[in-house]
Structure 1
Amino acid sequence: MTRAIKAVLWDMDGTLADSEALHLDTLVAVLKQHGLEADDDLHASIFGKTGREVHRYCSTRFGIDFDYGQWSMTRARHYVSAAANMQPRPGALSVYHAVRAAGIRQAIVSNSSRMLLEAGLRALDLQDPQLVSISANDVRAGKPDPEPYERAAWLLRVTPDEAVVVEDSPTGARAAIAAGMRVLAWPEHASAAASFPDSSEVVFSEHELAAALGVQLDS
């Protein structure tokens, strides 16, 4: 028997926020400082990874031992300076506010650093003293490890089977499944649906997402 939904755990980048291009721009900027150009497939290679994982990947790919402190600071400054212009993913905030109106608890669970996550929350006007949010700074291991979602559920005082996760990346979906949670996969492009784990429930619009969560969107 399926338990009632007591909490919805949202991924941030690409799910609530249309921010993947901004993350890529920060990477392009730091690579340019080293006289390097990003390849066309770079975004697909880093999609869903933590900042440290992207750093390790680029160090290996380009054969340069980038200083992580300088690398991350350059990316963060670029991101924060541009974040004010960030837009929500179309339809995402309508579902977020419908979940809130239904009295269901929510949390935001991101692989980004606290600094970047807070910049995104400000841009989307989601700052709330009561909001539970998990960043890369709050856990020992990021997605696809289950720890970020497990921590969010613990803070919300819900069990895994009482929580539903909304994700746009297979990496995040694997983390939620490993945490024992139901996953609603909402890929940016329908062609990406096949890359999600089989147990994910794929939705293709905010209307399908709202229906899966059992909430009503304002007409």
Structure 2
Amino acid sequence: MAVGIIFDCDGVLVDSEPLANRVFAQMLTDIGLPTSADSAMRDFMGRSTSAVAAIVEQRLGHALPPTFLDEYASRCEECFAHELRAVAGVEAALGRITPPTCVASSGSHEKIRFTLGHTGLLAHFEGRIFSATEVAHGKPSPDLFLHAAARMGFEPKHAIVVEDSPSGVRAGVAAGMAVLAYAGHVPCEELAAAGGRVFTDMADLPMLINGLLAEQLRPGIDTVREQRDK
């Protein structure tokens, strides 16, 4: 029975969401679509680059400038180099999690490796990183989580997703996986409404994972006991 943990990256492992959305909001404002960092987080957090670009172009009424996304990536990298930190408590939590883990993020491989490397977390996931660029549809579609599970050998019903955005939570639920939703920058009620089991402190994550795994494995254990006792 293959079990495992699938982590989102931005907002779960690295505290990049406020930084990236601040940069994105300013760039959208500069091209004529006034946007605040808060509204950018609300509307775009957790979605793939292609999905975000489609929403923005619909609002603009025309295509984004050809260099917009490349410039955004460059500005984010510069910002991250100076300000990015790991999510508080996540490195200690990773040290206490025993099932196999991987990362499945809406970002590109280059971005994921840069942010994890910059925050000292890359060694925890080396060789087990999956990007939305590998699948047809990004979050909230379940494609990315199902892809990661298949590559890792996890059974979806025994996989646990750790997310921080409503889109990501919905993707995990659609994949048939249990979802632990970290309320770092999104209200608890929004994550709960999307189907996540909400928590607010990374120190609690190992205990929550163990509790969920026990719930998932309990029916099989009970069946074995019943057969044994006959």
TM bucket (normalised to shorter chain) is 0.7 to 0.9
Partner of 2:217: none
Residue 176 of structure 1: how far off its partner (Å): 0.9
Partner of 1:9: 6
Partner of 1:162: 158
Is 2:127 the counterpart of 1:127?
no
Is 2:91 the counterpart of 1:111?
no
**Structure 1 residues 198, 58: closer, same or farther in 2, change over 3 A?**
closer
CA RMSD of aligned residues (A): 2.3
User: What percent of counterpart residues are identical?
Assistant: 25
What is the correspondence of 1:28-177 to structure 2 with a 5 Å cutoff?
28-34=25-31, 36-39=33-36, 41-67=39-65, 69-84=66-81, 85-99=83-97, 102=98, 104-128=99-123, 130-177=126-173
Answer whether contact 2:7 2:101 (CA < 8 A) is retained. yes
Amino acid in structure 1 at the alignment position of 2:158: E
* TM-score, with structure 1 as normaliser: 0.84
d(CA) in 2 for partners of 1:197 and 1:167? Answer: 14
**Structure 1 residues 190, 173: closer, same or farther in 2, change over 3 A?**
closer
d(CA) in 1 for partners of 2:147 and 2:132? Answer: 12
**Structure 1 residues 199, 136: closer, same or farther in 2, change over 3 A?**
closer
Residue 198 of structure 1: how far off its partner (Å): 6.1
List, as ranges, runs of 4+ consecutive aligned residues in structure 1 with deviation greater than 6 Å.
none
Residue 83 of structure 1: how far off its partner (Å): 2.0
Answer whether contact 1:30 1:74 (CA < 8 A) is retained. no
Is 2:16 the counterpart of 1:19?
yes
**Candidates 175, 181, 203, aligned match of 1:179:** 175
Alignment gaps of 5+ in structure 1:
none
Deviations 1:1-25 (A, max 9, x none): xx7x831111111111110012113
Residue 76 of structure 1: how far off its partner (Å): 0.8
Deviations 1:148-204 (A, max 9, x none): 111111111111122111111111111111111111111115733344346422222
* TM-score, with structure 2 as normaliser: 0.80
Q: Which structure is higher in helix share? A: 2
Answer whether contact 1:173 1:197 (CA < 8 A) is retained. no
Amino acid in structure 2 at the alignment position of 1:72: L
Higher Rg: 2
